[in-house]
Amino acid sequence: MDNAARGNTPKPTLKTIAKLTGLAVPTVSRALSGAEDINIDTRARVRAVADEIGYVPNRAGVRLRTGRTNVISLVMSTEHDVMNHTAKLISSVAGGLRNTPFHLNITPYFADEDPMKPIRYIVESGSADAVIFNQIKGQDPRVRYLLDRKFPFATHGRSDWSDQHAWFDFDNGSYGALGVRSLAARGRKHIMLIAPPIDQSYGAAMIAGATAAAQHAGVSLAVMPGLSSDSPVDAIEAQLAAMLRDGDKTDGIIGGSTNSALAAVAGIESCGRVLGDDADVFTKEAITFLRRVRPRILAIHEDVAAAGDFLARAAMSLVRTPEAPPQQHLDVPPDTPL
């Protein structure tokens, strides 16, 4: 078909799909919106026909009819673990919205910006139906702002008001404890935790879990001073190497992120020490990477794919059925030391 012919072809509408499927227009509309009272096979058939003929909803018309944008916004800092954690979260949220009427919009903010800025913009502009965000603090002002305005949202992490909102969280307290037990089981006596930022909920949980486990195991635990697992890799590597050269006895390290674990390995080896013999590193990863390239790293899987899919569905549920209880899930790591 040439461009002229294509330009003269009428744009597919709901009526077009209704004619091709033999269904009523309202049924087609509800099937495309993912209405659960429409048979799943019917929804799939309608979606297949819509894709085949190139049907694209009129976003302005949808908003006029429903008051919705059919957009879910994922708000994220630009300074997170793009190689592993963030990349997986983005792809899994997108996967959770696949074959639904909702679209994903990614809203970044920079380290020197107020994290409230993108949240406030989305709410005041009405540019999305719901938001998903992470790096949650206990008294997170974003959570309080959204709760007060009854705006749909889901968090990757828990706030002090987690009973009131949708969330998916990894049990970082259990992770910290598992790290200590795994290192202690290998004879490590002097453990250092490269912890997440202490003002974020998962950082406080990880420190608490590791501290309690260290006391129970009779080993020492120190939190790396001045830096966090979100700090630049070069800074973590340099500080650890300097500490080891100055006689620090650390022989086991827990990384709060994949990047911090890589930095720890580099710091250990820059001092002539051998990973797995002189010191061990325990960490978590969203993508099986470390265990392939450095098998002696002790790494467990954090299912960020499940987190993204869950958060996408939780956000859609809040938009469709705001009166329903918010969906919540805690992902607990295995209990057996590595």
Report CA dihedral (68, 74, 75, 78) to the nearest 10 degrees. -150
Evaluate if residue 65 carries a pLDDT over 80. Answer: no
HSE (side-chain half, CA atoms, 13 Å) at 165: 32
Tokens of 263: 């930095």
User: What pLDDT score does 6 carry?
Assistant: 46
pLDDT tens readout for residues 108-124: 998 889 999 999 999 99
Rounded to whole angstroms, how far apart are CA atoms 52 and 154?
33
Specify the CATH architecture of the domain 172-301.
Answer: 3-Layer(aba) Sandwich (3.40)
Residues in the chain: 338
Q: Which has the closest alpha carbon to 254: 193, 173, 207, 296? A: 193
**Cα torsion angle, 330, 304, 148, 197, sign:** positive
Rg (CA), the chain: 24
Confidence of residue 5 (pLDDT cuts 50, 70, 90): very low
| DSSP track, 121-175 | HHHHHT--SEEEEES-BTT-HHHHHHHHHT--EEEES--TTGGGSEEEEE-HHHH
Q: Which has the closest alpha carbon to 331: 76, 131, 156? A: 156
Q: Within 10 Å of residue 43's Cβ, how many Cβ atoms?
A: 19
Evaluate if residue 7 carries a pLDDT over 80. Answer: no
**Residues contacting residue 313 through CB under 8 Å, at least 6 positions apart:** 96, 327
SS3 assignment, position 283:
strand
The overall pTM is greater than 0.95: no
| Domain layout of the chain by residue ranges | 3-56, 71-170+304-331, 172-301
Evaluate if residue 322 carries a pLDDT over 50. Answer: yes
Q: Which amino acid is present at 260?
A: S
According to CATH, the superfamily of the domain at 71-170+304-331 is Response regulator (3.40.50.2300)
**Above pLDDT 70, what percent of the chain?**
93
Tokens of 232: 């630049």
Q: Within 10 Å of residue 286's Cβ, how many Cβ atoms?
A: 24
Q: Looking at per-residue confidence, does 254 or 291 come out higher?
A: 254
Q: What separation in angstroms does the CA of 225 have from each of 105, 261, 284?
A: 37, 16, 21
Confidence of residue 14 (pLDDT cuts 50, 70, 90): confident
Mean pLDDT lowest for which of 75-84, 130-139, 181-190? 75-84
Domain 3-56: assigned CATH number:
1.10.260.40
Q: Which residues of 155-171 are buried (b: 16+ CB within 10 A; e: fewer)?
A: bbbbbeebeebbbbbbb
Mean pLDDT lowest for which of 106-120, 163-177, 209-223? 106-120
The reply to whether 172-301 shares the fold of 71-170+304-331 is: yes
User: What pLDDT score does 80 carry?
Assistant: 58
Please give the average per-residue pLDDT across 185-190, as a whole number.
Answer: 98
SS3 assignment, position 90:
helix
Mean pLDDT lowest for which of 39-48, 246-255, 271-280? 39-48
Q: What separation in angstroms does the CA of 276 have from each of 152, 192, 241, 271, 307?
A: 47, 15, 17, 14, 31
Dihedrals φ, ψ of 279, to 5°? -160, 155
Q: Which amino acid is present at 253?
A: I
What does the mean pLDDT of the chain come to? 92
Evaluate if residue 38 carries a pLDDT over 70. Answer: yes
**Cα torsion angle, 177, 183, 186, 190, sign:** negative
Q: Which amino acid is present at 325?
A: P
**Residues contacting residue 154 through CB under 8 Å, at least 6 positions apart:** 130, 131, 132, 165, 166, 167, 168, 311, 314, 315, 318, 326, 327
Under 8 Å between Cβ of 24 and 18: yes
